[in-house]
Structure 1
Amino acid sequence: MKIGEVAHRLGVAVHVLRHWDDVGVVVPDRTPSGQRNYSEEHLHRLRVLRACQGVGMSLPEIRQVLHRGEPERTGAIERQLHRIRTQRAQLEDAERFLVHVINCEHDLLTRCDSCTRYAASVPLQQDEHVTPSTTP
Structure 2
Amino acid sequence: MSHPLIDRLTTEMGWPLLETDHDVADFTNRPGVHVLFIPGDAKRNLETADVAVILPELKLTFQGKFDCAVVADPIEAKLREATRVLKTPSLLFYREGVFLAGIPKVRDWDDYMSRIAQILAMPTPETA
Relative to its length, the structure with more strand (as a share) is: 2
Higher relative contact order (CA 8 A, sep 6+): 2
Q: Kindly indicate which of the two structures has a greater share of residues assigned to helix.
A: 1
- Indicate whether the TM-score tops 0.5: no
